[in-house]
Amino acid sequence: MPQKEDARAMERFDTLGVSAVLQLESALDRERAFGQVLPEAAACTADCKMKAKEKYQSDVWLEIEHLNEGIVPEDPRSSSVALCDTATGAAAQCETDPVENIFEQNLKIKFYISSGSTSPSSHSGDEADPVKIVDSAHLPVHTPTIKRKECHSSILFPTKSKSHRFFLTSFTAPTKCHQCTSLMVGLIRQGCACDACGFSCHTTCVEKAPRACPVPSQQKKGALCLDAQEGIGTAYEGHVWIPKKAGLKKGWQRALAIVCDFKLFLYNMDEEKDSKPNVVVSQVIDMRDGAFSVSSVWPSDFIPARRKEMPRMFKVTASQLSAPSNQYSVPILADSENDKSEWVGVLSDLHKMLRKSHSRDRSVYVLKEAYDSSLPLIKTTQTAAIIDHKRIALGNEEGLFVVHVTIDEIIRVGDMKKIHQIELIPHGQMVAVISGRSHHVQLFPMSALDGRKTDIHKLAETKGCQTMTSGTVCQGAHTCLCVARKSQVFCYELFQSKKISHRKFKELQIPTNVQWMAIFSEELCVGFQSGFLRYPLRREGIPYRMLHSHDPTLSFIAHQPMDALCAIEISSIEYLLCFKSIGIYTDSRGLRSRPIELMWPATPTYCCYNAPYLSVYSENAVDIFNVNSMDWIQTVPLKKVRPLNSEGSLNILLSETIRLIYFKNKMTYGDELVFPETSDNRQKQMVRHLHSKRRYSFRVPRGKGGPPAGP
């Protein structure tokens, strides 16, 4: 019996030994095969392992432990090996700790490491190598033009087909995806380009692309290909003329026009010959807009153009303000009458197709004029806030004013001048403003908004501050106000009994000048150039990086310095970080949470968030995104508009007539603000009340053609 058991044990040992040998050989073969596809992987692996060991004794690992919030690594010696060791087999995975696994999961995204596709359409017949996509942050920028270059495979490529070698690319001109034919919209990193054959596509289209490199001509989609069901693809394109920035009276500007995804994109071009269009979108007109139309231009349209240009002109109309006018038109000049007829025919046919498919209007905001534009206070308004559904606060050069929009009554609050920011603090029943030439923070109770006389509490050390934000800590028990002055942030606890008082409980030093601030879940989130940090407010501790240095897919942000616009707390485990060039989704550890980035059609100047919609302001429009689905759902075609509050609900339109605009959310029940009937009555004036120096009525004075509009 003992001999039989010994024999069985030896058989099991031999079997186990053979199995282990086979596994090791298989892993070695995989590593060799991977090394053929990515020759630099082997060198990168050894180098990264060495760097990871050196990093162990640095403060980075201490930070990871803080970020991990309770997940303690089993073996710190292997802390960062998983970052670059993408060629190792399953044997290495069982030794990694939970933090490494999170790193590895975040790095195994389509545009960073190799990924295979099981789609039959993506194979060329022979077994091809896996598709390789590399982040080109540290590689030469590959910028193909909008016109596709057809190459002869017999000259440039070997006869045997191979896999594409895709690089994440920043295109310098409008470029269409060779797979779906849609535009790759964005300012940087818009899509991928094969380094060998020039095949360009969205990162989401990589796995749908033909696997063979170069792509056989029979598998290439035409330059114009529209999927009417999905609304994806380019239907038409050509060169046109649009009015110059200063208006049609100054002449015409050459532009590239592309009808894509049922939108009309217009890209400005230089007047020089063979000039490329700018990658920044000049104007976008959505054909899903309820007021969209296209028609010829007639003399009755009062468009200031030469009579001989009229036969070549057409106009595209869409909705804008609901009052005083609900439509606006863009005049467009074609090169010939035939070109004009083609443009009008194509746009009309596409719009009919869109209406037949019953494609719903995805717009979220309806634009309303919040108050009469003839109110003198509006012309110099710098900041505003909605107090309740009948009152708004306006801050301008003259001071702080509360406007009762339904009864046309105006109250001046205090004797402050030059109001730069208004912060309502409802949980503390206080209002904070940044005012004066010296940019001091001043506090007063909310009762002052009703016209009551009150004391103003000044925070002396805030001189020269540029922004502030408020929130609560300790589950709402304490009111907190954070004030930024250059690269410093002062954190105060506010108290109110008979008088307002404060206590500074923390002073923070930011790496560089503060560009944006907000309080999330009892943490202060601070944005600065190329970075965001979260500082704990209730306790001491190091800040949490919202862009982790160990995620190489985010390293391009440090290499391409960009301003921070805002951060959004999507959930307790995910954030959207908005920079001037791009939007990045990260998790609570600062690692990338989504492989796709949010792309801006034009260079943004401001970002405002009103859950779940992000409003991105640029020179010629406001683009609205759903941050959950990442869909670009609306374009508000307003030029020279900027937000007056952090939500973007109140805006000032700096046109010929300066207007106060309210973005009404169609998806919410009821109105946040009651809309008065507005008019451009230039006879209305601010009339001071007889019994109060701080109260005014906005009305037509007696004896000037009408009864008073207010009390």
Q: What is the DSSP string of 618-665?
A: -SS-EEEEETTTTEEEEEE--SSEEESSTTS-EEEE-SSS-EEEEEEE
pLDDT digits (tens, 9 = 90+) for 647-667: 999 999 998 889 999 999 988
pLDDT digits (tens, 9 = 90+) for 511-542: 999 999 999 988 999 999 999 999 999 888 89
Residue 62 phi/psi, 5-degree rounding, is -60, -35
Q: Is 524 helix (H, G, I), strand (E, B) or coil?
A: strand
Instruction: Give dist(CA 190, CA 175) in Å, integer.
Output: 9
Question: Measured between alpha carbons, how far is residue 298 from residues 128, 243, 303, 306, 629 in Å?
Answer: 59, 17, 8, 12, 42
Task: Provide mean pLDDT across the span 188-215.
Answer: 91
- Whether 589 contacts 549, CB under 8 Å: no
353 three-class SS: helix
Could you tell me if 261 and 284 are in contact, meaning their C-beta atoms sit under 8 angstroms apart?
no
**For the segment 62-83, what is each residue's pLDDT rounded down to a tens digit?**
444 444 444 333 333 333 222 2
CB-based contact 698:686 (threshold 8 Å): yes
Which one of 132-141, 222-231, 350-359 scores highest in mean pLDDT?
A: 350-359
DSSP states along 83-95: GT-TT--HHHHTT
Task: Tell me what the mean pLDDT of segment 548-561 comes to.
Answer: 91
DSSP characters over 414-438: TT---EEEEEEEGGGTEEEEEETTT
CA distance 130 to 137: 22
For the chain, the average pLDDT equals 79
- The per-residue pLDDT for 145 is 35
Beta bridge partners of 234: 225, 260
DSSP code of 344? H
Find the range with the poorest average confidence among 120-129, 160-169, 194-203, 310-319.
120-129
